[in-house]
Amino acid sequence: MERTGKVFRIVAFWGLLVVSVIYLVPLVLVLVNSFKSNLFITNTPFAWPNADNSVGIANYSDGLVRTGFLSALGYSAFITVASVIVIVVVTSMTAWYIARVKSRFTSLLYYLFVFSMIVPFQMVMFTMSKVANVTHLDNPVGIVFLYTGFGAGLSVFIFVGFIRSIPIELEEAAMIDGASPWKVFFSVIFPVLRPTAITIAVLNAMWIWNDYLLPNLVIGSSYKTIPIAVQQYLTGSYGQKDMGAFMAMLVLSIIPIIAFYLAGQRHIIKGVTAGAVKG
């Protein structure tokens, strides 16, 4: 028994190592090709960089300006950070109101939020972009408002579930001490919500950072986020395509994700798993 366990562990370790290496092949391939020149990427993608095919870091230094990657990085960062902050603050407030105020209206609101979680984006994509147009939300600030509205369902749902498990005596005590609801929420409830707030932040950050269709339809013609810039670079009609610059662009769009992952792996895995409730 002891012996098979040991053999199993050694075999498993080497097996997993091989699978992990295979798992990383696609990413390594892009990285390798990001140092090669245009022609060699299409013709010999599996060759290692050498004196003939390599261009050093030229794809990163000139390519990025031509692809508009840097401005895309700026828009992506702004929209993601702003939306996540707004979503965490306003949906937790709303969830508290829904969880604590018992009325027909709050339960109707709650069921509407839950309902919105199962609706695929294609159902509302055309009409949402028209509404955004008419209400002048078709800019990087307005889209924060749209993300808040479209993402509210999942966030409110998770927050309400958690708030219902908090004993109401905490709030009652603060209330009797004369604290305003504003103060009760931000000094008593919000600190307790911290772990859930991190989960919500992770879930929404992953979604918004990687989202392509919503920003493309609403602001894509004037402001390009990273997924839009990547998608439009090869399919857009203007200019010659530089595959080298494109590879550099792919690498640089993956690096922030890896950095984010290394910084908060535990929270990210917990958050993404909690998001499994979304059907």
Read off the amino acid at residue 195.
Answer: P
Residues 91-110 that bind other proteins (CB under 8 A): 91, 93-94, 96-98, 100-103, 106, 109
- Interaction between residue 237 and other proteins (CB under 8 A): no
Residues 210-229 that bind other proteins (CB under 8 A): 210-213, 226-227
Q: Find tokens 């939300």 and name the residue.
A: 137
CA angle 113, 260, 143 (to 5 degrees): 40
Please list every residue from 5 through 24 that binds other proteins, using CB under 8 A: 8-9, 12-13, 15-17, 19-20, 23-24
Can you give the C-alpha Rg of the chain in angstroms? 24
Site for other proteins in 148-177 (CB under 8 A): 148-150, 152-153, 156, 168, 171-172, 175
Q: How far apart are CA 248 and CA 63, in angstroms?
A: 8
Residue closer to other proteins by CB (options 51, 134) is 134
Out of 2, 7, 51, 120, the only residue in the binding site for other proteins (CB under 8 A) is 120
DSSP 3-state assignment of 54? strand
Question: Could you give the string, one character per residue 238-277, with x where binding to other proteins holds by CB under 8 A and - elsewhere?
Answer: --------xx--x--xx--xx-xx---x--xx--xx--x-
Tokens representing 10 are 């050694």
Site string for other proteins, 23-62 (x = CB under 8 A): xxxxx-xx--x-------x---xx----------------
Q: Is the dihedral of CA 49, 55, 58, 59 positive or negative?
A: negative
47 burial (CB, 10 Å; 0-12 / 13-18 / 19+) is: middle
